[in-house]
Structure 1
């Protein structure tokens, strides 16, 4: 029977990809990795650095073990660790992911001086008065009038959107883009059922709510229980 390889090395245009077996012991994996990298490094041009990406599969490694792997690879002359990927995440990372994708529903009026911030999507049933601020890591949906400040995608999500029943904000922010008074909103005009998003030129655009169907189809991810 052919012995199963614990380490598979594949060359790409960017460098090397190491696929590590996730069913053997960690010590066995390190031994074979050390052996194969030593053999491979002898065939590499020492004048150039080689980028290495590591695929752990369904194996979880502690921070100490990850550092051991990085050091083992770095010791082989011209290898540089570019990335280490794993299909497994910690409970803390899972909780953070759930929080960032969860829709938080709040029913209240955000008055002047008040700040409402959530890690994921925000569904606000109420108004944001002038001087009030709502901040979300994801999208912001307001079933009411937006007259204050709204900041969606505050952790750097350029795909986040802001939608409101009545859009008359003092400031819109999405990710790191800022629009103090959207050009499409007149000072004496209150628009109904509109949304704001970042376009290809990294400008905040205010448009009809219906455009989100084409621009952000993933907003319907909860339909049918998905």
Structure 2
């Protein structure tokens, strides 16, 4: 329901599904159990759960953080933007390039080896994926990675990661990577039904 993690010098609080009262109760317990751990931290609010809250409820959750000595790094949360900020790239992503999005990323081209892509939600590559990708980088475990040719150096989904084995055979068929029981699974894409969770496909 709530995941708290350190990221780029910030304390990122990721809200899953739940109500305001549930969020407030969980945060109060986490903070009160170890107040010194959180004091002085810069806090970011992220996650799909924010879209179900009223603006004044988000402010109350931010006040709770302030009461425990934290600092707000996004004092006004735009719920609509938090829920969806998709990035569309109409070119190849070259080696060494790093790209990040607060929503999903769709690449109309190839992602070359040693390129890095991170997205809060899904990563869709309409070409060959050979770089490093991190879907659900703020903790969204429902995120997926899809590519017409899936051959990455490393895949991360939320807090799980997997490297391609040394004997991995590249397949020129569309494939999807997703989380199941804390394991990244890869299956061949054979029907539109498998991408039903995506709003952008």
Q: What TM-score results when the alignment is normalised by the length of structure 1?
A: 0.53
Task: Please report how far the alpha carbon of residue 213 of structure 1 lies from its aligned counterpart in structure 2 after TM superposition.
Answer: 2.4
Q: State the structure with bigger RCO (CA 8 A, min sep 6), 1 or 2.
A: 2
Q: What are the within-5 Å matches in structure 2 for residues 181-192 of structure 1?
A: 181=164, 187-192=168-173
Q: Is the counterpart of residue 197 in structure 1 residue 181 in structure 2? A: no
Equivalent of 1:206, from 186, 190, 200? 186
Instruction: Choose the corresponding residue for 2:76, options 92, 115, 118.
Output: 92
Q: Structure 1: give runs of 5+ residues left out of the alignment.
A: 1-16, 18-56, 71-89
- 1:218 is the counterpart of 2:201: no
1:151-201 residue CA offsets vs partner (Å, 9 max, x unmatched): 100000000000001111111110010001169xx53423321110001x2
Q: How far has the Cα of 1:103 moved from its partner?
A: 2.1
Moved over 4 A (4+): none
Question: Is the contact made by 1:152 and 1:162 (CA closer than 8 Å) also made in structure 2?
Answer: yes
Q: Is the 8 A contact 2:149 2:170 kept in 1?
A: no
Correspondence list, 1:157-172, <5 A: 157-172=140-155
Change (3 A) 1:112 1:181: same
Taking the aligned partners of 2:200 and 2:92, their CA distance within structure 1 comes to 26
Cα RMSD between the aligned structures?
3.3
Name stretches of at least 5 consecutive residues in structure 2 with no aligned partner: 1-20, 22-52, 68-73
Per the alignment, do residues 157 and 212 of structure 1 end up closer, same or farther by CA in structure 2, a change over 3 Å counting? farther
Is the CA contact (8 Å cut-off) linking 2:85 and 2:101 kept in structure 1? no
Contact preservation (8 Å) 1:182, 1:206: no
**Cα distance in 2 between the residues matched to 1:117 and 1:58:** 28
Query: Over alpha carbons, which structure has the higher Rg?
Result: 1
Work out the CA distance in 2 between the residues paired with 1:110 and 1:142: 10
